[in-house]
Amino acid sequence: MNQSLLSSVLLLSMAAAPGFAAVNGDLAAGKAKAPMCAGCHGANGIGVSAEFPNLAGQKADYLSKQLHAFRDGSRVEPTMKAMASALSDGDIANLAVYFASLERSPAAVAKAAPTASAKPTAREFPHATFITMKKSGTVETFPDETVWQGGPNMLYDAVTPDGSKLLATSPSSNKVYVFDTASGGQLAAVPVGKAPKGVKVTPDGRFAWVSNQGS
């Protein structure tokens, strides 16, 4: 095999290999789908805590591979399995190119010395934000700063796509608590098996997936 032909074969092999596959997605469609990821990975692709990896600025090919792996079960994580199972190939490609287009770190903001009188405003929280408080067994909202009573050791939460309901897990009571986001009223406390941890709502809002410890 001459050098020219060998080079051509190598180039074709590289182009066909999964590691070199180009991801063709629709950035706008990915942005529209991205809110389903915001509960863990942040509105801008920056993980809400050290437990959740940043998606912003990752290579689209890498993100696509991980979502496919979660969906087909070759990478095991119950919460991500539930989320990825609701995605089509097109959804995965769109999300991959969208998060790849974002900056790796949040936009720089001017830092001011904290003061005792500082209050959260719509500037810091343009959308309602819900935080489960493990020690107090409550949900706190921002920027309104209201407190909803839930179950013991409240852990993870998820908001329905229409924003009308909040689901929060309580591992100590083996239940998922459902709240009305407009009033903060508790709508239900649903038994879901031993020590529920993660909770996610499908994009169509019809189902919620809960991961249980040891299951």
Distance, in Å, from the CA atom of 126 to the CA atom of 118, rounded to the nearest integer, reads 17
Query: 118 lies in a domain?
Result: no
Residue 35 lies in a domain: yes
Beta strands in 117-213 (DSSP E): 129-133, 138-142, 147-149, 157-159, 165-170, 175-180, 186-191, 196-201, 208-212
- CA atoms lying within 13 Å on the CB side of residue 182: 2
Q: Which domain holds residue 27?
A: 13-101
Q: For the domain that residue 90 is a member of, what is the CATH number?
A: 1.10.760.10
Mean pLDDT of the chain: 83
Please state the length of the chain.
215
| pLDDT tens sequence across 45-61 | 998 877 789 999 999 99
When pLDDT is averaged across residues 65-87 and rounded to a whole number, the result is: 90
The verdict on residue 54 lying in a domain is yes
Domain assignment present for 135:
yes
52's tokens: 């959740």
pLDDT in tens, 180-191: 999 999 999 999
pLDDT at position 55:
94
Q: Is the pLDDT of residue 14 over 70?
A: no
- Dihedrals φ, ψ of 72, to 5°? -90, 0
The arithmetic mean of pLDDT across residues 177-202, rounded, is: 93
pLDDT interval class at 115 (50, 70, 90): low
Confidence of residue 25 (pLDDT cuts 50, 70, 90): very high
Please tell me the predicted confidence (pLDDT) of residue 2.
47
Return all residues near 126 (Cβ < 8 A) that are at least 6 apart: none
Tell me the average pLDDT across 123-139: 86
